[in-house]
Amino acid sequence: MGGREIHPVIDLSVQADFQQVLLLHLKSDATAHRATFQKCVWLYKGFAPEKWHGLRCTVYSRLK
């Protein structure tokens, strides 16, 4: 896998929502083998417009 580690996301929060662009904060849990992983990610509708609605529904359903 090219030396990349897999970090299961346990916390996801929307930092900004501009309808066509989302800024998400992702966080994993710390384990005995690795520290907590945190990252902010910009997602843009233009990258996959046919999947945008489903992505937004998934993100907001996790926040309830």
Q: What is the per-residue pLDDT across 18-32, written as a single tens digit (0 to 9) for each?
A: 999 999 998 887 765
Which residues does the chain have with pLDDT short of 70?
1-3, 5-7, 31-33, 62-64
What pLDDT does 36 receive? 78
Q: What are phi and psi of 22, to 5 degrees?
A: -125, 140
DSSP 11-55: EEEEEEE-SSEEEEEEEE---SSS---EEEEEEEGGGSGGGHHHH
